Amino acid sequence: MKSLIRFLKKAIWISSILFFLVQFNSSPLSAQQNISTSSIFSHIVKNNGYIDTTCTLTISSLERTVLTYYTITIPQTDITPDIFSITGNKPLEATVYNRNNATDILIDLENSIVSDTNPQKIRITYSYTYDDQTILNLISKITDTDTTQVSITYPKSFGEVNWISDQTESEKQDDNNYILNIHSPDSTSIKLIFDQGIVYKFDISKSFNNQSDIATQYELLIPQDSEFQKIIIENISTQPTQAILDNNLNYLLIFTVDPQTQMDVKISGYVVMEYHKYYPSFETPHYDNRNIYWSIENKQIEKVDEYLESKRIVDNAVDTDKLLKYLYTYTIDTLTPSASSTTLSGGTREGSIEILRDPINCTPEDYADVLKTILNYYGIPSIYTIGYISDISNYQENGMFHYWIQAYDGEEWLILDPYLEDYSKVSLFGREQFDHISILNRIYEPISPTLPYYSDNDIRFEYISDSNTIYSPQGNLSLSLEPYSILNKYLHGSIYLENTGNTVLTGVEFLDSNLDINQYIDYVSNSTNAILLPHMNKRINFYIPFNNLEEDMIFTSANIKNGIKTVQSELLSTNYSIAKHTGYETVVKALSATIFLIFLGAVYLIINKVVYKK
């Protein structure tokens, strides 16, 4: 009998071990894997400084499953949620675990039965405070759970949304509130910026150390105006020797540093993110198959053509906007992003041919090179841009340097960031991207100009939530003439222009003159690409032949420009007095010539007499 008992104990013990091993080594096709979840978020923003958030979580399973506990993670801290079973119409017990950047909630589902036809619906509600009503950051996802809809209700007193980080499906309003609906949000949170616009403060700090024995010039690029941003200059510690607008539409400052001298330059200002007409029409860069960065092989071009044909783009008569969109999607579909290259510090720049040969682990620079190349090939105006992406879109906590493309679709300019779309899996085409701050443009050459900034120590951008800065382009114009001299063949005058505003003036044009003053400007001393920073000035000299003067007044309409936009117009005029058509000038000039000849004759006779005597 004892032997039988020992045998049964041993059998039970061995069976337990075998059962444990089977369970331990079994395929993880458990009930948890058959479970699917989705959520709907509703945020109600109140005037009293609180936000009421409701998350409706739906849990279903392909197989009939009993759930005792279920854990969710909300990427938000310092919340005290209430849990309610909509299916069971009763509150549920939950244990809350606060972590550094999220909250874990262990929900007691009390052995609820879940199936495909009998999902469990749970409502999670909580409130929290906000400090700044000009910018809100609202959670839109539970970790590892798809969100199908987000509703955001906020008071009309906040004003309209100036920028939102996700695509809005619909906008409604009632007597007191605006209501936004977002379908299937792209990111974990949705950021809203209200009313006053998006403004960044920038600070540039650069040192030029000239150790040579001669004066040397150094170049410095500053953020430039574009179709998407306006530049305000607040302070420049040292005025540059010269400031120019280069052929890539960059603002280039030139500083002259004396021998054995160090110059510290500090520039501060603001970038106002706002659409405005700025770019002049420029010739589409000629596609050059000898360019090692912006050219591709014939067989690679054939693949692009095949892709376009698959999208029913079969000839060049197609609308530019459609062609542009499919060249953009071709870049995304062909390349694979590197997860470790979200800053300027990428790998070796290989050029489009090598990138398309091996389109794996591509950097932002690779994406920009390929897209710029095929845009050039198909004749679409584009700009290769190096700049900075701010932290308002949550791509990276502190922002990052980055590469992207600006392209013209036939009606307007667009920001195209194929790397960021491919990397983040967020649809960006046609979206407002006021987180992209342009620093440097390249239109014609793939390697110049070079970026003078490589860290936050050189240039820093900071979002300003309560900026009262006003974009104020202003100038002071005057027209003056040199005193009249009958011995001169020309009437010499100048137009004085001073930048009295807080932005960059890129030029001045003269229209509606009683004579075309543009014909008489001295372009040797007046460079057409010179720009004026605040407090800078210049004189535009002109020389008008007296024979072309028919009136006793010179007048012209002067338009001060920022890009193609006229920011100020002024009528300039001045009088002059010259004896006309009397023949007096001819008599005086003849008399002067006669006196000069008599003087030369006298000198000749004296010299001749001295030589003869010797």
Q: What is the Cα–Cα distance from 435 to 406, expressed in whole angstroms?
A: 14
Whichever domain contains 562, its CATH number is 2.60.40.10
Whichever domain contains 60, its CATH number is 2.60.40.1730
Residue 398 in any domain: the answer is yes
Report the pLDDT value the prediction gives residue 196, as an integer from 0 to 100. Answer: 67
Which residues on adjacent β-strands are paired with residue 104? 73, 97
Residue 564 in any domain: the answer is yes
pLDDT at 304 over 50: yes
Do 589 and 563 sit in the same domain of this protein?
no
pLDDT band at residue 467 using 50, 70 and 90 as cut-offs: confident
More confident: 103 or 4: 103
Do 569 and 610 sit in the same domain of this protein?
no
Q: What is the Cα–Cα distance from 304 to 516, expressed in whole angstroms?
A: 50
Q: What is the Cα–Cα distance from 294 to 522, expressed in whole angstroms?
A: 38
Residue 270 in any domain: the answer is no
The 10s digit of each residue's pLDDT in 80-113 is 999 999 999 999 999 999 988 899 999 999 999 9
SS3 at position 4: helix
Do 600 and 511 sit in the same domain of this protein?
no
The 10s digit of each residue's pLDDT in 241-285 is 999 999 999 999 999 999 999 999 999 999 999 998 999 887 778
pLDDT at 377 over 60: yes
Do 355 and 312 sit in the same domain of this protein?
yes
Do 568 and 590 sit in the same domain of this protein?
no
Helices (H), 386-541: 418-424
Do 186 and 115 sit in the same domain of this protein?
yes
In terms of phi and psi (left: phi > 0; alpha: psi -120 to 50; beta: otherwise), the region of 58 is beta
- Interstrand relation of 103-114 and 94-98 (parallel, antiparallel or unpaired): antiparallel
Tokens of 380: 């679409």
pLDDT band at residue 11 using 50, 70 and 90 as cut-offs: low
SS3 at position 91: strand
- Interstrand relation of 35-45 and 90-91 (parallel, antiparallel or unpaired): unpaired
- Interstrand relation of 382-389 and 436-442 (parallel, antiparallel or unpaired): antiparallel
Report the pLDDT value the prediction gives residue 228, as an integer from 0 to 100. Answer: 96
Give backbone dihedrals phi and psi of 18, rounded to 5 degrees, phi first. -65, -40
Do 568 and 593 sit in the same domain of this protein?
no
Residue 24 in any domain: the answer is no
The sign of the dihedral angle between the CA atoms of 347, 349, 350, 355 is positive
Residue 216 in any domain: the answer is no
pLDDT at 28 over 60: no
Report the pLDDT value the prediction gives residue 344, as an integer from 0 to 100. Answer: 52
Last residue of a domain, one of 194, 217, 237: 194
- The whole domain housing 124 covers 31-194
Report the pLDDT value the prediction gives residue 25, as an integer from 0 to 100. Answer: 40
pLDDT at 15 over 60: no
Q: What is the Cα–Cα distance from 249 to 256, expressed in whole angstroms?
A: 22
- The closest of 116, 106, 148 to 35, measured between CA atoms, is 116
The 10s digit of each residue's pLDDT in 107-153 is 999 999 999 889 999 999 999 999 888 889 999 999 999 999 999 99
Give the DSSP letter of residue 10: H
Report the pLDDT value the prediction gives residue 195, as an integer from 0 to 100. Answer: 64
Report the pLDDT value the prediction gives residue 186, as an integer from 0 to 100. Answer: 79
Q: What is the Cα–Cα distance from 441 to 406, expressed in whole angstroms?
A: 9
- The closest of 218, 217, 223, 209 to 268, measured between CA atoms, is 223
Report the pLDDT value the prediction gives residue 139, as an integer from 0 to 100. Answer: 93
Q: What is the Cα–Cα distance from 202 to 273, expressed in whole angstroms?
A: 13
Do 411 and 515 sit in the same domain of this protein?
no
Last residue of a domain, one of 174, 194, 214: 194
Question: Average pLDDT for residues 150-175, to the nearest whole number?
Answer: 89
Report the pLDDT value the prediction gives residue 591, as an integer from 0 to 100. Answer: 74
pLDDT at 17 over 50: no
Proportion of the chain in helix, strand, coil states, percent, rounded to 5: 20, 40, 40
Q: What is the largest CA-CA distance in the chain?
A: 166
Do 490 and 508 sit in the same domain of this protein?
yes
Do 508 and 612 sit in the same domain of this protein?
no
Residue 417 in any domain: the answer is yes
Report the pLDDT value the prediction gives residue 51, as an integer from 0 to 100. Answer: 96
| Structural domains in the chain (count) | 4
Residue 380 in any domain: the answer is yes
Q: What is the Cα–Cα distance from 305 to 308, expressed in whole angstroms?
A: 5
- Give the range among 154-158, 307-311, 451-455 with minimum mean pLDDT: 451-455
Last residue of a domain, one of 166, 194, 222: 194
- Give the range among 54-63, 98-107, 332-341 with minimum mean pLDDT: 332-341
Q: What is the Cα–Cα distance from 14 to 18, expressed in whole angstroms?
A: 6
- The closest of 263, 196, 253, 197 to 224, measured between CA atoms, is 253
Residue tagged 């040579």 (tokens): 212
Percent of the chain with pLDDT strictly greater than 70 = 88
Q: What is the Cα–Cα distance from 226 to 385, expressed in whole angstroms?
A: 11
Do 184 and 38 sit in the same domain of this protein?
yes
Residue type, 359: P
Tokens of 576: 């002059």
Residue 308 in any domain: the answer is yes
Do 385 and 520 sit in the same domain of this protein?
no
